[in-house]
Amino acid sequence: MPEATATYVSPSYVAPNQAPNQLEVQPVAVPEKSKQSFSPRMGSSNNERTPQEQRIRKIAYGVSAFVVVCVAIGLIASSLKKVESTEFGLQYNIHAKELDDAAKSGGLFLGPPGYEFVKFPSTFITVALDDRICVSNDGLLVTFSVTFQYQMTELNLVPAIEKYRDFHKWADIVEQAGLSAVHHSCAEFQVTEFQSKRGIIQDKMLDNLKLKLEGDEERNEEGVNAVAVSLQLRYVGLPKAYNDAVAEKQSSEEEIAVAIAQRRQETTKANTELLRAKEQARRILDTARNEAEVLLTEARLEAEQKLFAFEKEADALVQVKESLGYTTEGVLAYLSNMLLAETRNLAVTTEEPARLGRKELL
């Protein structure tokens, strides 16, 4: 067949002031593409492949299948996430930036590829505030150690994540809120009350902790989306100067108490000695009175006896005088002779003139 020739007509540029009928058309010859002939031998060569080519083709298919399987496994692995039984988790699609509001716990969960869980502990969380310093109501520095427990609930998961993004930031905020609650509690008590009202202070700290963590609409407290469980005031350290003053005061009070006790003891001892002396004086006085009464009784009896004897002797002398007719001098001479007669070994010394006998008077 003869070769066909196509002609392409290209328009030339027309100026704005040129009339349309003046448009010139210049024909340009375009050569026709050559036709490719296919022989039967060439078609048979495409359908027939060598063993090496078939082996390469199989390897390519195997590699492709392996890649597909690996990609599938990777997608499945990235779509499966585990949540422990002690955790709460919310699904977060990192591509769509969407957060699921249904809490998951204790299991293996399937989601869109590449998603992740925002996890929070479901158990009690303990915070230890050791060797911290607060200011009492009277302006003194007080060292304290406090431990408190709090918990995350399912209702607080979404607002906590929206505010604080993850557990660690939320836990830091909760710790600072707890520290603030303790500081507010310290400022409500005098330093002397930290020893006498420790239980009351601990309860007040727990109340303020609940207010800071859980919030209160009436008091316009927003809270930090946590539930306060308990609080323990483990240590209270008062200022050294205050402790020294208290120790000195206690020492003085103890010394005063000892002095008062010694005074009471000495007073009791003196009163005992006084009572003993009074009792002894009473006994001596009673003994003297008894002895005096005995002596008086004996003297009276002896006087009565002697008086009776003298009366009898006087009666006898009167009878002798009357019966013998003696005079008074004669009776005296008789008595002298009787006395001298009854006395043995009598030595008498007299001076001149002396009259020893009364014989002439009888």
**Is the pLDDT assigned to residue 41 strictly greater than 50?**
no
Q: In the β-sheet with 116-121, what is the strand arrangement from edge to edge?
A: 98-99, 87-93, 116-121
Predicted confidence (pLDDT) at residue 16 exceeds the cutoff of 90: no
pLDDT at 79 over 50: yes
Mean pLDDT over 3-21 rounds to: 43
What percent of the chain is modeled with pLDDT above 90?
35
Rounded Cα gap, residues 166 and 157, in angstroms: 10
- Cα gap 280→278, rounded to integer Å: 5
Q: Flag whether pLDDT at 309 surpasses 70.
A: yes
Q: Any idea which of 154-163, 184-193, 288-297, 326-335 has the lowest mean pLDDT?
A: 326-335
Distance of CA 328 to the CA centre of its chain: 118
Residues 6+ apart with CB under 8 A from 207: none
For 309-327, what is the mean pLDDT? 80
CA pair distance 30, 304, nearest whole angstrom: 198
| Per-residue model confidence as pLDDT tens digits over 252-269 | 999 999 999 999 999 999
The mean-pLDDT minimum among 46-50, 172-176, 232-236, 342-346 falls in 46-50
pLDDT, position 146: 97
CA gap 116, 98 in Å, rounded: 11
Give pLDDT, residue 270.
92
pLDDT higher at 212 or 62: 212
* One-letter identity of residue 174: V
Q: What is the pLDDT of residue 73?
A: 64
Residue 57 in this model has a pLDDT that exceeds 90: no
Q: CB neighbours of 104 closer than 8 A, spacing ≥ 6?
A: 83, 88, 89, 90, 91, 117
Contact 222, 215 (CB under 8 A): yes
| Residue 71's pLDDT band (cuts 50, 70, 90) | low
More confident residue, 225 or 19: 225
**Closest by CA position to 230, among listed 129, 149, 341:** 149
Mean pLDDT, all residues of the chain: 79
Q: Is the pTM of this model over 0.85?
A: no
Structure confidence at residue 48 (pLDDT):
62
> Between 330 and 198, where is the model more confident?
198
Best CA proximity match to 166, nearest among 89, 93, 80: 89
140 in Cβ contact with 237 (< 8 Å):
no
The CA distance from 130 to 128, in Å, is: 6
DSSP string of 179-208? HHHHHHHHTTS-TTHHHHSHHHHHHHHHHH
Tens of pLDDT along 171-221? 999 999 999 999 999 999 998 899 889 999 999 999 999 999 998 888 888
The lowest-confidence range among 18-22, 79-83, 173-177, 218-222 is 18-22
pLDDT at 352 over 80: no
CA–CA separation, 154 and 177 (whole Å): 20
- With 0-12 / 13-18 / 19 or more C-beta atoms within 10 angstroms meaning exposed / middle / buried, residue 175 is middle
Strand-pairing partners, residue 146, are: 129, 233
Concatenated DSSP letters of 113-177: TT-EEEEEE-S-EEEEEEEEEEE-TTS-EEEEEEEEEEE--HHHHHHHHHHHSSHHHHHHHHHHH
CB 143 within 8 A of CB 237: yes
Architecture of the domain whose range is 124-238:
2-Layer Sandwich (3.30)
Answer positive or negative: Cα dihedral of 129, 131, 133, 134.
positive
| Helices within the chain (DSSP H only) | 40-47, 51-79, 154-164, 167-186, 193-196, 198-214, 240-324, 328-342
Question: In 3-state terms, what secondary structure has residue 249?
Answer: helix
